[in-house]
Structure 1
Amino acid sequence: MRVISGAFGGRRLQVPRGDDTRPTSERVREALFSILGTEVAGARVLDLFAGSGALGIEALSRGAASATFVDSAEAAVRCIRANLSALSAPGEVSRSDVAAYLRTASGRGRHYDLVFLDPPYSSAARVGTELSTRLPDVLSPGATVVCESGRRQILALELPLRDERHYGDTLLRIHDSP
């Protein structure tokens, strides 16, 4: 897997081994960042269920101001740190349950302009309600939230839906904060 474009374009990324992480394909990432366009430049990015960190790293490569990566798996956190180090890229990495991280971030007054949500497809449907409750507390006005899920396991958020795209078995839903 590689970074598609920007400052780190063409650079390879490590991916956690095993079946616990399903990296976003290069095709889907390329399409997503084409849709987002100039929204990425200068954005404060939050990459939840980060896995390899590919989405947040792609955003940094394309000019995001900062990126925070959250994943509960130690292997994923090690992988993200290795990828950031290999690229000499800035980034904050947190090994945490997503709901716990959102509570902490909200309490600290953190706000993000661009949020990526890419939970395991099997849990996408059940995490939507909790994320809909906690996520708005960390969104900047006009923030964009990108949800990736399977076509049959939809990650539904109670936020205005801007766009929805299908790429094979992958569903991308792009929401705007109110």
Structure 2
Amino acid sequence: MTRIIAGAAGSLTLGVPDAGTRPTSERVRESLFGALDAADAVSDAAVLDLYAGSGALGLEAVSRGAASADLVERAPKAAKVAEQNARAVGRSVPQAALRVHRAAADAFLRQGATRWDLVFIDPPYDLSDDELTATLTLLTPRLTPDALVVLERSSRSPEPSLPAGLVVERSKRYGDTTLWWVGAG
């Protein structure tokens, strides 16, 4: 079971795709959002959730006061679940702009001109480092000047190779998962 932890939609149960995704554990999300709230990184933010799966990360941010969230998921079944979850959260946070995009991450980043303040990237653990760097390269010009990117990877993965314009600010390990905080700088 996955649920929204806090905010306007707190305790709302979210659907989770049957297969093909790896939802971020509630323990990791609770720790992450505690740190994001303390850094005042969520309030009124434009949020992007790449490889969104159920959309739990982007929707948690909206529940906690983000102005908008773009949830990007390529897998049709997962995107359908994200759409259902976005509608449910939208009922609790009607002022937020929630959009689900059925697209591959890189294809989505090549279109439009939207810029984001807070980005969650939780790709499949088997995504290669080169593929991740390519995605980050496409993302960089779409970030606001003080944007924060939270990258979730396997703890066995090396530190991400970042394109110019991004720097690792810190990392935190949670068992098999490591969160990398990457700043636009």
Q: Superposition pairs for residues 1-178 of structure 1, below 5 Å?
A: 1-18=2-19, 20-37=20-37, 38-87=40-89, 88=91, 89=93, 90-104=97-111, 108-123=112-127, 125-154=129-158, 156-158=160-162, 159-178=166-185
- Residue 124 (structure 1) shift: 5.0
Contact (CA 8 Å) 2:47, 2:61: kept in 1 or not?
Answer: yes
CA–CA distance in structure 2, aligned partners of residues 124 and 53 of structure 1? 22
Q: Which amino acid aligns with 1:28?
A: V
Q: Deviations over 1:101-160 (max 9, x none)?
A: 0010xxx32100000000011115242220232111110111000000101134614121
TM-score by length of 1: 0.93
CA–CA distance in structure 1, aligned partners of residues 63 and 128 of structure 2? 27
The structure richer in helix per residue is 1
- Structure 1 alignment gaps of length 5 or more: none
| Count of matched residue positions in the alignment of Structure 1 and Structure 2 | 174
Q: Which amino acid aligns with 2:78?
A: A
CA–CA distance in structure 1, aligned partners of residues 108 and 159 of structure 2? 19
Contact (CA 8 Å) 1:147, 1:155: kept in 2 or not?
Answer: no
CA–CA distance in structure 2, aligned partners of residues 11 and 129 of structure 1? 34
Q: Deviations over 1:19-58 (max 9, x none)?
A: x100000000001111111210000000000000000000
Aligned in 2, Cα 1:157/1:59: closer, same or farther, shift over 3 Å? farther
- Structure 2 alignment gaps of length 5 or more: none
Over the residues paired in the alignment, what is the CA RMSD in angstroms? 1.3
TM-score by length of 2: 0.90
Contact (CA 8 Å) 2:129, 2:161: kept in 1 or not?
Answer: no
